[in-house]
């Protein structure tokens, strides 16, 4: 009798372990990098456009912090596709998730130093860069 209870307990534990593992793999996990969205995460968000993707998975990318304001000047978050300036965060609503290989957040200093067209007095809090292809493609 004791052996059958032990066997039943082991079977139940194994079934629970399998069901928990299956649940964990049905939704893409957020990457450990808060400044990156992978293609898997983007497509797994179930969003109609990239603005919704960011809103659901990395909402802080859409907000300039009060500390980012400079001497009363407004700052902006800009959007680039590869090395091409697209506009502000509202432009994300016009882009399908299927267009993005990955999305990356750059802080204002890094964005101004690495993206074309940002050194001309424009004050940026950050940039969302959409990559359309893997590196080297």
pLDDT in tens, 92-122: 999 999 999 999 999 999 999 999 998 767 7
Tell me, yes or no, whether 3 lies in a domain. Answer: no
Tell me, yes or no, whether 11 lies in a domain. Answer: no
Does the pTM surpass 0.95? The reply is no
pLDDT in tens, 50-71: 999 999 999 999 998 655 555 5
The range of the structural domain enclosing residue 125 comes to: 33-131
For a pLDDT cut of 70, what percent of the chain falls above it? 69
The neighbouring-strand residues paired with 102 are 38, 131
Tell me, yes or no, whether 12 lies in a domain. Answer: no
Of 124, 34, 109, nearest in space to 79 by CA: 124
Distance CA(33)–CA(43), nearest Å, equals 17
Tell me, yes or no, whether 104 lies in a domain. Answer: yes
Tell me, yes or no, whether 9 lies in a domain. Answer: no
Counted domains in the chain: 1
Phi, psi torsion values for 27, nearest 5 degrees? -120, 130
Of 125, 109, 120, nearest in space to 69 by CA: 125
Tell me, yes or no, whether 6 lies in a domain. Answer: no
Phi, psi torsion values for 36, nearest 5 degrees? -140, 140
Tell me, yes or no, whether 28 lies in a domain. Answer: no
Distance CA(133)–CA(74), nearest Å, equals 33
Tell me, yes or no, whether 41 lies in a domain. Answer: yes
Phi, psi torsion values for 79, nearest 5 degrees? -120, 130
Distance CA(74)–CA(62), nearest Å, equals 15
Q: State the CATH number of the domain containing residue 38.
A: 2.170.130
């Amino acid at each position: 009798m004791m052996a059958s209870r032990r066997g039943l307990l082991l079977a139940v534990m194994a079934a629970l372990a399998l069901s928990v593992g299956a649940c964990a793999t049905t939704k893409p996990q957020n990457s450990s990098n808060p400044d990156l969205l992978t293609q898997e995460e983007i497509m797994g968000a179930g969003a109609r456009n990239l603005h919704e993707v960011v809103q659901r998975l990395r909402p802080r990318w859409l907000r300039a912090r009060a500390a980012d304001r400079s001497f009363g000047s407004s700052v902006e978050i800009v959007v680039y596709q590869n090395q091409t300036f697209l506009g502000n965060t509202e432009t994300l609503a016009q882009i399908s998730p299927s267009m993005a290989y990955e999305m990356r957040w750059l802080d204002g200093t890094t964005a101004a130093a690495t993206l074309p067209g940002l050194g001309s007095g424009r004050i940026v809090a950050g940039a969302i860069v959409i990559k359309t292809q893997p590196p080297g493609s």
